[in-house]
Chains A and B, each alone.
Chain A
Amino acid sequence: MQQLSLLLTSLPDGILLGFVYGLAAMGLTLIWGVMNVINLSHGPIIALGMFGTFFLFIRLGLNPYFGLFVIALLGLLLGILIYAAAVHRVINAPHLSSLLATFSVNMIIIGLGTAIFTTSPYNVDFNMGSFQIGSVTLLGTRLIAALVAILYTGALYLFLYKTRPGKYIRAVANNRAAAELMGIPSTRILALSFGLGTMLAAVSGALIATFFPFNILSGGSYELKSFVIGVLGGLGNPIGALLGGLILGILEGIIPAFMETSWVPAIEFALFVAILLVRPTGLFGAKR
């Protein structure tokens, strides 16, 4: 009975968080799907998104949800910059090169971030009230974060399937050489895809900052979660990422009711390795 009441409080929270995890993972998986690059600078970019909320809200007094648009734009530009500086030259090189190139970006951001912000925790004190459904309480900030995550997913889906640049992105992901032969400017499309990936990471960070304290290193754990989710949903599959995020959120909601919370990462990563072994294309099947 005690377990049931614990479950009723932790499960809804887990589900709402799961959508935000899914949004973060979508950024990682989009970049992987289009250019076969695992973006190891994903975590620090999530952290930068968190600091974006902090500065826009605390220093400039901008509403965090309005600030999301600013952060999205900055994230897009940062991604295009990272692509041009670090990724473009190694896009056709063996995996080690692109992994290390994006990791060097990770080191640069973490190094500068530690020097500027130190590693002490920051907190955005932002309250949107809470909603009561029966005996379940939902925090306003988390509910809105989940809604924003769903909105972004829908917008990304429309962009990829209904607009011309989106179709270009899917064409390049499918077969870069053939896309180039059809006159698609592949370099620009790759840069745009990388920008979109980092934009999603920054936005998810900005949302997480509205309910958790953070520092410059906080992105790391969400990066690892993104790997797990990416593999759950199939690397390269944006909708799968949202579902994967949901699964992870539900797991995080259920596990604490039955065993110590510290077991959560052990189970998550064991699941991650197991899925990689059994179905490396993900539970929902990837497009390749």
Chain B
Amino acid sequence: MSNWRRHTSLILPVVVVAALVLWPAVTGKAANRESAFTILKAVALASSLNILLGYTGYVSFGHIVFYGFGGYVGFYLLSAQSWSLWPAMAAGGLAAGLLAFLLGKAILRLRGAYFALATIGINEALKAFINNFELFGGPTGMTLNFRVYQAYGGAAKALEMSFILVAALTLVAIVVSHVVRTSKFGLGLQAIRENEDAAEIMGVAAPNAKTWAYVLSAIVPGMVGALFFFKNGNIEPHDAFPLHASIELLVMVMLGGQGTVLGPILGAFAYQGMRGYLVTSDFFKDIQLSVSGVLLLLIVLFIPAGAIGLLRRRITPLRGVLA
């Protein structure tokens, strides 16, 4: 019974994802499936980032680098080596994890703003490198031959399968986030967040723990990247490493509440929903970015703990369910 209790906080996130998966099926519109895909992708990326940002307290301004790198590796294997989607996705995740491991060994020594700056630098360096890397198509990127989709029963079937896969990856990201939060490993990470020096004195092997947190937060984005660019059919440096997307992820995590499992999910949902509304509304479509900016500023200034953080603090009984 007590074992079951620990996982009550997983109910709401799973319900949210299930609702997102069922929404296009119930309404029967293909456009809804695209929206749901975008939201699920955002949920998966934001939940992954939360492991590093929310639990460990390290601000990565270039987390999209893992999405782009995983996407490039997966895409290369799909198009040039004619691998099928499954191993290519796995390779994308593995490549992103490996990159995170190597980077983690180097840059996780930096703290605070220096770490944030280094992550920006790495994103830009890798983008500039791939721009010059002929094997990956250089500045024009790579395009997938349409025939590739035939192996999955045509383009329509492939799209449907991508949707199911992104939902599965999102679930994986959420479960990983939950498991990390409730584990002893996660407790160590949260100790690092509160005070790294004190945590080390209490016996947390901080360098190792940080590196593994970084790796864990990179694998799912790498796989999502491979999947997204498979669905997209082409990949370019500009699309794979957009710096502003990294910052949008930060906004999502902040909006919902960093360091909680549900927070990034709600944040991603709310942010993508709001953006969808603003971009299509007549009045806001031109100044969509400014409106998002004002909202972000208000959140940062007045509710830095995010929606979930605020609810947990104000309404104590909710603490069991919202975590």
CB within 8 Å of B: which residues of A? 32, 36, 38, 85-86, 89-90, 93-97, 99-101, 103-108, 110-112, 114-115, 224, 227-228, 231, 260, 262-266, 268-270, 272-273, 276-277, 280
Contact = CB atoms under 8 A, between A and B. Distances in A.
A130 to B, nearest CB: 31
B131 interface: yes
Given A100-B251, A104-B296, A115 B287 contact: yes
A105 B286 contact: no
Contacts, number: 126
A111 B287 contact: yes
B109 interface: yes
B124 A36 contact: no
A268 B120 CA distance: 12
Consensus secondary structure, chain A interface? helix
A99 B61 contact: yes
Interface in B119-140: 120-122, 124-125, 127-129, 131-132, 139
A277 B131 contact: no
Contact of B304 (A93, A107, A272): A93
Interface of B: 53, 57, 59, 61, 106-107, 109-110, 112-114, 116-118, 120-122, 124-125, 127-129, 131-132, 139, 247, 250-251, 254, 286-294, 296-297, 300-301, 304
B291 to A, nearest CB: 7
15 contacts: A90-B300, A90-B301, A93-B304, A97-B304, A100-B251, A103-B296, A105-B293, A105-B297, A107-B290, A110-B289, A262-B128, A272-B121, A276-B107, A277-B107, A277-B118
In the A-B complex, the 9 residue pairs with the smallest Cβ-Cβ separation, listed nearest first, are A111-B290, A107-B293, A111-B289, A269-B125, A266-B128, A108-B293, A265-B128, A104-B297, A104-B296
B95 to A, nearest CB: 19
A276 B121 contact: yes
A95 B297 contact: no
A272 B125 contact: yes
Contact of B121 (A227, A263, A264): A227
Contacts of B112: 95
A107 B290 CA distance: 6
Contacts of A107: 289-290, 292-293, 296
Contact of A262 (B131, B286, B296): B131
Contacts of A269: 121-122, 124-125, 128
Looking at A86, A95, A262, the one whose CB has the most chain B CB atoms below 10 A away is: A95
A43 to B, nearest CB: 11
A273 B132 contact: no
Given A99-B59, A99-B113, A108-B290, 18 more contacts: A93-B304, A96-B53, A101-B297, A101-B301, A103-B247, A104-B294, A104-B297, A227-B117, A227-B121, A228-B121, A263-B132, A264-B128, A265-B127, A265-B128, A266-B129, A268-B128, A272-B125, A273-B125
A248 to B, nearest CB: 13
Contact of B293 (A94, A96, A106): A106
Contacts of B113: 32, 36, 38, 95, 99
A224 B120 contact: yes
B322 to A, nearest CB: 21
Nearest to B292: A107
A273 B121 contact: yes
B107 to A, nearest CB: 7
B59 A273 contact: no
B254 A100 contact: yes
Given A101-B300, A104-B296, A38 B117 contact: yes
B110 A280 contact: yes
A96 B131 contact: no
A246 B79 CA distance: 43
A111 B291 contact: yes
Contact of A86 (B116, B118, B297): B297
Contacts of B117: 38, 227, 231, 276
